[in-house]
Structure 1
Amino acid sequence: MKKQNLLAIGLMTFAMFLGAGNIIFPPFLGLEAGTQYLPAMLGFLLTAVGLPSLTLIVLGRLSSSGQLTQALPKPLAIAFWVLLFTAIGPAFGMPRAVTVAYEMGIKPFVEGDHLLIFSVLFVGATLLLAFQRGKLVDYIGKVMTPLLVLMLAALAVAAIVTPLGVFNAPSADYQYKAVTSGLIQGYMTMDAIAAVGFGWIIIKAIQDKGCESPQEIFQATVKVTVVYALLMSACYLAMAYVGATSASISEGATNGGELLTRYVAEIFGPLGQYLLAGIIIMACLTTTVGLTNACAEYYQQTFRSPFAITTIIVTVLTGVIANFGLEQILAISLPAILILCPIAIALVLTALFLPTTKRNVTAYVTIVSITVVFGSLDALHILGLLPEPLVTPLNDYVPMFEAHASWFLPVFAAIAISKILARKANSEAVELSEKAASLK
């Protein structure tokens, strides 16, 4: 593949991942980390960028996102993908992107409620770009992303050249365990689940540019992932630095969005609001286009559903939910996402060590079952729905429960045991084959 095509797909990948949350979350993290900025960001990047990167590389090695669940029984595999695309698509991810784009990109400049008009225009733009599936790399990778990178670079350069202050003392969570706190916060971005969904588009884009063999697809995926990882890491570091040097304007701020709004107003004046609005709207638009295409790509390949019809349904549902039912849908879909994310990561980790073939169906089903059990505990804990008498013993006896990752060690143990059993079975099969050959 030509280098410019690899770069364009890498830029497209970065833009699809870069939602409003990826921009407004790091500033508050940087503010809380203060003088522990570097160790906190080291931990954060390991999970916030490392997990999605690992997911993309594993999917590239499989040459198809669908192969990730190939070892599972078909009904279970379909249920996983349908729930995933529903949750990150029209039920949660996309409506949230629409409302955040409106709240931060339009609402500060207008009076009254214009969400309905904005959402119609926004999902309309999403639909138009999504229909250009063959030109998605050109539109997002070669046009929209460079503009987005330039706007983010303006914020980063301003923070470095004219910082508003010095690093504060770290908050309690970052004072003694900065790396661990960063790891937890990076995991909670849940970009790993988005990586599983976006894998359908990225691999398809690579194939459309001429890569056909598994080796070519894998090599291209690794290079695309490097571009994504470098850009996303730079973005996170810059936005966190903005927050870390903004203590003088942070009083009363409760989230990174407020902090970033104050920062751009202080540095750039009235024009700063327009700059931030442009960044947020464009980041949300590239995300909704990517999610729409991922949903449509899956339904077309799995159910032979026409791409255009699926795209229209997804965008229409997104617009409706963004206006009338987002809070209720969040209450329903957030627990699903909190459970689906560890399942997705567990499948990726398993695919690293065990072939995704029906021969390993028992191992895959066992690992998914373990993840569902412990992932449900983590989800209930995060949502504050776990009975208090259970929290203390779980904290005491379940490793990584406090970090909302109690599923990790049981899953890793199950993978290790499955790998040992698989090797033993292969060794016995070889011995039987050799004995049969000697008898002949």
Structure 2
Amino acid sequence: MTQRLSRADTIGLGLMTFAFFLGAGNIIFPPLEGQLAGTNVLSAMSGFLLTAVGLPLISIIAVASVGGGLPSMTKDLPKGTGTFAAVLLFIIIGPAFATPRTGLVAYEMAIKPLFGTFGGDNQLVLSDSIKLDKTQAIVTTLFFIVTLMFSWSRGKLIDNIGKILTPALFLLLICLAIGVLVAPQGELAAPVASYQDTAFSKGFIGGYNTMDTFAALMFGMLLVDVLRGKGVTEQKATYKYLVIAGFIAAAGLAFVYISLFWLGATSSTVAPGAANGGVVLAAYVQALFGQPGQWILSGVVLLACLTTAVGLVSACADYFSTLTPLRYRQWVIVLCIICALVANVGLSQLIALSVPVLLALYPLTIALVVLTFLRRWLPNPKYAFRTVMFVALIFSLLDGMRGISALQNVAWVKGLLDSQTKYMPLAEQGMAWMIPTAIVMVLVFLIPASKKQADIK
């Protein structure tokens, strides 16, 4: 069996990976970051690119290097930890937050501006406490039906996404980027107070919102299955094509983020005091292209959200089918139904709920990826992994607690967080985990090898 892809399939794999990453968060968060950073846009953008481009790329390479995704990456942790972490990760990036968000953003930014709502009473009352937006419910349901259709066959993902949807998406993004660079709609404004001295860390944390480092661990396993379907089964060949796909995706994401950051940084005139990046982007495109611009924006958003939804649903269904009696296609149906239901929580509520979860889990993912690269040089990988991950967990949980507003009213929690802010560097920026984890990651090289490991050597 050949272990090579054609050039078209290789490019298609890279474009598919790029399309999987480029979704709701990738479009709505950079413009607002750019506007808030103003003249400090380069600093904020650098931090954002590090977590939204660099970390996903490194994560894909880490998955490729071990060949087995999360199960192989967590083999040195206590038994069952890897499966628990994977299930938790797939739930968060799948039906709980990221995938429903794609349907919501598609509705809010692609459909609603063009067609509005039904008018009049647009509420569907299910009970005194459950009231749904009729238009939103219909649109998100249709969105996930289309997602189901594209996700139905894993073997056709490269053809469906890499060769059909992504080229159309990329052409629309190029049109937008050229417009932003050639005819910016304003001058760079002064940064808001929180971005004056900490623009880099703000951008770094802002990159969490894309959830792309989580997604990379998921997509890495999905891409391995896609390559197997194309006849590439050997570890060396799989690693090669995953790395190529990762670099193609990273280049595409960097292009998009730089364009959107610059758009946001020059948007203070056309979208002053915008509440979110969607408002910034919509106002800018309207000013730049007029009414036809809304059609361009709707096309970009709809395709970006659809391709990401397909990738997330496919990856979740593929993984859950290995743990349960349900088959891949059955899981696709179940996940699309759940996502359509969760999407009706509302975009702002979903984003607010996800923030503390990201602050708590992103540091753990970063630590795991770094440890995966360092493993071959660690004298005692088992104790090194467990020690570093424990330290990262303790401090990341504190960062996550800081993101839950209700906990700020609990006296002992407030006292604990105030002490952390006083004594821990970077705590106010939500990065208190970084220095302790880095220190411990260096110290674990001093842990001696176990007798069994020494005998093997």
Q: Helix, strand or coil for the counterpart of 1:143?
A: helix
> CA 1:325–1:76 in structure 2 vs 1: closer, same or farther (change >3 Å)?
farther
Q: CA deviation at 1:11?
A: 0.8
- 2:373 partner letter: L
Matched pairs, number: 430
Root-mean-square deviation over aligned CA pairs: 2.6
2: CA distance between counterparts of 1:135 and 1:60? 21
2:131 matched residue in structure 1:
none
Q: Which deviates more from structure 2 when the two are superposed, residues 263-272 or residues 328-337? A: 328-337
2: CA distance between counterparts of 1:425 and 1:179? 45
Q: CA deviation at 1:317?
A: 0.8
TM-score, with structure 2 as normaliser: 0.87
Q: Helix, strand or coil for the counterpart of 1:249?
A: coil
1:35 to 30, 35, 39: 39
Q: Is the 8 Å Cα contact of residues 22 and 308 (structure 2) preserved in structure 1?
A: yes
TM-score, with structure 1 as normaliser: 0.90
Q: Which deviates more from structure 2 when the two are superposed, residues 252-261 or residues 330-339? A: 330-339
Q: Helix, strand or coil for the counterpart of 2:429?
A: coil
1: CA distance between counterparts of 2:384 and 2:66? 18
The answer to whether structure 1 residue 346 and structure 2 residue 367 are counterparts is yes
2:109 to 94, 104, 109: 104
Task: Structure 2: give runs of 5+ residues left out of the alignment.
Answer: 119-133
2: CA distance between counterparts of 1:310 and 1:24? 29
2: CA distance between counterparts of 1:356 and 1:25? 37
The answer to whether structure 1 residue 392 and structure 2 residue 418 are counterparts is yes
Q: Is the 8 Å Cα contact of residues 61 and 217 (structure 1) preserved in structure 2?
A: no
1:9 matched residue in structure 2:
13
2: CA distance between counterparts of 1:255 and 1:327? 9
> CA 1:420–1:257 in structure 2 vs 1: closer, same or farther (change >3 Å)?
same
Q: CA deviation at 1:216?
A: 1.8
1: CA distance between counterparts of 2:351 and 2:33? 23
> CA 1:257–1:16 in structure 2 vs 1: closer, same or farther (change >3 Å)?
same
2: CA distance between counterparts of 1:44 and 1:341? 14
Q: Helix, strand or coil for the counterpart of 2:80?
A: helix
> CA 1:426–1:218 in structure 2 vs 1: closer, same or farther (change >3 Å)?
farther
CA deviations 1:135-168 (Å, max 9, x no partner) are 1011111111111111111111111222212222
2: CA distance between counterparts of 1:166 and 1:156? 17
> CA 1:356–1:40 in structure 2 vs 1: closer, same or farther (change >3 Å)?
same
2:121 matched residue in structure 1:
none
2:156 to 122, 135, 142: 135
1:437 matched residue in structure 2:
none
> CA 1:81–1:229 in structure 2 vs 1: closer, same or farther (change >3 Å)?
same
- 2:391 partner letter: I
1:57 matched residue in structure 2:
61
Q: Which deviates more from structure 2 when the two are superposed, residues 405-414 or residues 253-262? A: 405-414
2: CA distance between counterparts of 1:167 and 1:330? 27
> CA 1:180–1:90 in structure 2 vs 1: closer, same or farther (change >3 Å)?
closer
1: CA distance between counterparts of 2:154 and 2:388? 35
1:372 to 393, 397, 408: 393
2:435 to 409, 421, 424: 409
2: CA distance between counterparts of 1:166 and 1:332? 34
- 1:67 partner letter: S
CA deviations 1:339-374 (Å, max 9, x no partner) are 2322222211111112599x7444333333322221
> CA 1:371–1:283 in structure 2 vs 1: closer, same or farther (change >3 Å)?
same
2:128 matched residue in structure 1:
none
> CA 1:305–1:69 in structure 2 vs 1: closer, same or farther (change >3 Å)?
farther
Alignment of structure 1 residues 215-294 onto 2, 5 Å = 215-294=236-315
Q: Which deviates more from structure 2 when the two are superposed, residues 79-88 or residues 185-194? A: 185-194
Q: Helix, strand or coil for the counterpart of 2:95?
A: coil
Task: Structure 1: give runs of 5+ residues left out of the alignment.
Answer: 434-440
2:213 matched residue in structure 1:
192
Q: CA deviation at 1:337?
A: 4.1
